[in-house]
Amino acid sequence: MAEQKPSNFQQAITGEWHGLPSVFDVDGSHTGFNKVNRASVFEGDKVTYWMETDFQNSGPLRNRFDTAGARFEFGVIDSDQDRVYCGPDFMGAGRPYGLLVDSNYYSPGWNTDLRTVNLIIPERGIQVYSSQLFEADTLVAVFNGLYVVTQDHDNNVDEQNMVREFLENEQKAAKKPFILPVKESGQWRGTLQVHDDKQQHIGETEVIIDYRPLTLRSAEMTVTMKGAIERRFTYRRSRVDNVHTFEGPDVYGNGRAYGRYLWSIQHFYGEAFKLKSRDTLIDDNHSLCSVWQFYQSNKEQYTVFGLMEWTPTDTVLGAQYVR
Tell me, what's the pLDDT at 1? 37
Average pLDDT of adjacent 10-residue blocks, the chain of 323 residues: 77 95 96 95 91 91 90 95 97 97 97 98 96 97 98 95 97 93 98 98 98 98 98 98 98 98 98 98 97 98 98 96 93
Query: Residue ranges of the domains in the chain?
Result: 8-173, 184-315
Q: What's the pTM value of the predicted model, to 2 decimals?
A: 0.95
Tell me, what's the pLDDT at 3? 59
Residues contacting 161, CB < 8 A, separation 6+: none
Q: Is beta strand 243-249 parallel, antiparallel or unpaired with respect to 231-240?
A: antiparallel
49: helix, strand or coil: strand
Backbone φ and ψ of 79, nearest 5°: -160, 165
Could you tell me the CA-to-CA distances from 234 to 41, 172, 194, 221, 300 in Å, in that order?
45, 34, 21, 6, 22
pLDDT digits (tens, 9 = 90+) for 114-161: 999 999 999 999 999 999 999 999 999 999 999 999 999 999 999 999
Quick one: fold of 184-315? Lipocalin (2.40.128)
Say which CATH superfamily domain 8-173 falls into.
Calycin beta-barrel core domain (2.40.128.20)
